[in-house]
């Protein structure tokens, strides 16, 4: 029984971290139809900025985090304007090549700026305290991450389903030409959604750093993991990413508790089986 509870708690916390980083990718890949392999790069930039603000400039945690997220968005917007805007119309292979090149640029820049060692993001004591759950202790950080993940999914649902911006975004995605002919500034809409994607990546990078620590090679190290979440969830489906991230978190955690020696094999076998059955992902549009 306590084993099951352990798996549930650890799996959900891990899944939420995956969700927060990958949901931004799902937004850009699914809604904007750009295979953005540089997505992990934005998570890393968010983390590196947070590290810099906290460690080198001595800012407080709750000030450094919003600044780092804002800084990432501020970097992402001109990138969208200058580079991504030209990538939207490329074929998939060209998009992959362009964005992987961008990833290497990001890695090299962070490497030059902060070096290749770990960039720690120390948590405030309120977040790092262990909490006694009765059957075990859990760092408060994990509980916070679970809450934050839930807040992100509710916020996104509200934004896309219930606001004017969401209506325009969906219209622009479905038919860009028609949307702009009825007066929607699709360029601005795309830029804003790209910024949201990058900002979400930065939040995920910073709060996920406890499990996926930030260093210059972060975007390459975890690229496959993020892509798996989006592929299983179905591109562009936010509930899909959510279900996929939780599923992956729980499966991987369960495999590690029960069969540690073959955990990786079990995990990827499951991913292959799932994608063979549903190539469009759990909730993707076929």
Partner 1 sequence: MSLKQGAALALAIATCVTGAAWADTIKVGVIASFSGPFAQYGTQYRQAIEAYQAQHGKTAGEHEIEFIYKDVGGTNPDQARALAQELLIRDRVDYLAGFTFTPNALAVASMATQSETPTVIFNAATSAINKDSEFFLRTSYTLWQVSVPLAEWAYDQGIRTVATTVTDYGPGIDAENAFREAFEAKGGEVIDEIRMPLSTTDFTPFIQRVRDQKPDAVFAFLPGGPPTFTFTKTYNENGLKAEGIRFLGTAETEEVNLQGLGDAAIGLTTAYHYSGAHDSDANRAFLAKLNELDPKAIANWASVGAYDGVHLIYQMVAAAGSDGPAAVEAVKSLEWESPRGPLKMDPETRTVIQNVYIREVERNPDTNLLQNTEKGIIATVGDLGWDK
The alpha-carbon radius of gyration of the chain (Å, integer) is: 19
Q: Per-residue x/- mask for partner 1, residues 224 to 243, rule CB under 8 A?
A: -x------------------
CB of 13 vs partner 1, minimal distance in Å: 8
Please identify, among the stretches 87-95, 204-212, 229-237, 239-247, the one whose residues bind partner 1 according to the rule CB under 8 A: 204-212
Binds partner 1 (CB under 8 A): choice among 159, 217, 250, 275 = 217
CB of 97 vs partner 1, minimal distance in Å: 19
- Asked if 49 contacts 70 with a C-beta cutoff of 8 angstroms, the reply is no
Q: Per-residue x/- mask for partner 1, residues 247 to 266, rule CB under 8 A?
A: -----xx--xx--xx-xx--
Residue 131, phi then psi, degrees to nearest 5: -115, 135
Q: Could you give the count of Cα atoms lying within 13 Å of 110 in the half-sphere of its Cβ? A: 29
- Asked if 24 contacts 197 with a C-beta cutoff of 8 angstroms, the reply is yes
CB of 144 vs partner 1, minimal distance in Å: 13
- Asked if 207 contacts 17 with a C-beta cutoff of 8 angstroms, the reply is yes
- Asked if 75 contacts 49 with a C-beta cutoff of 8 angstroms, the reply is no
Query: Which among 163, 181, 204, 223 is positioned nearest to 43, based on CA atoms?
Result: 204
Per DSSP, 136 falls in state S
The interface with partner 1 within residues 105-134 (CB under 8 A) comprises: 111, 115-120, 122, 128, 130
Binding site for partner 1 (CB under 8 A): 2, 6-7, 10, 14, 111, 115-120, 122, 128, 130, 136-139, 141, 210-213, 215, 217, 220-222, 225, 252-253, 256-257, 260-261, 263-264
């Amino acid at each position: 029984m306590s084993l099951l509870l352990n798996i549930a708690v650890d799996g959900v916390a891990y899944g939420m971290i995956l969700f927060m980083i990958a949901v931004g990718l799902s937004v850009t890949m699914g809604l904007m139809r750009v295979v953005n392999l540089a997505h992990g790069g934005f998570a890393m930039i968010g983390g590196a900025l947070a590290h810099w603000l906290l460690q080198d400039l001595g800012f407080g945690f709750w000030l450094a985090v919003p600044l780092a997220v804002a800084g990432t968005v501020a970097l992402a917007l001109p990138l969208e304007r200058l580079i991504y805007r030209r990538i939207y119309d490329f074929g998939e292979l060209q998009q992959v090549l362009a964005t992987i090149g961008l990833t290497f640029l990001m890695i090299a820049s962070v490497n030059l700026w902060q070096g290749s060692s770990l960039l720690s993001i120390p948590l405030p004591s309120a977040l790092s305290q262990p909490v006694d759950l009765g059957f075990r202790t859990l760092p408060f950080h994990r509980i916070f991450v679970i809450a934050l993940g839930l807040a992100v999914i509710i916020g996104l649902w509200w934004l896309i389903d219930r606001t004017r911006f969401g209506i325009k975004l969906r219209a622009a995605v479905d038919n860009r030409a028609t949307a702009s002919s009825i007066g929607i500034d699709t360029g601005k809409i795309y830029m804003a959604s790209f910024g949201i994607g990058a900002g979400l990546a930065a939040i995920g990078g910073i709060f996920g750093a406890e499990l996926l620590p930030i260093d210059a090679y972060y975007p390459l190290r975890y690229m496959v993991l993020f892509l798996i979440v989006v592929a299983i969830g179905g591109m562009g489906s936010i509930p899909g990413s959510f279900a996929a991230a939780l599923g992956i978190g729980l499966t991987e955690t369960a495999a590690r508790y029960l069969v540690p020696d073959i955990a990786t094999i079990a995990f990827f076998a499951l991913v292959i089986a799932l994608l063979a059955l549903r190539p469009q992902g759990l909730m993707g549009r076929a």
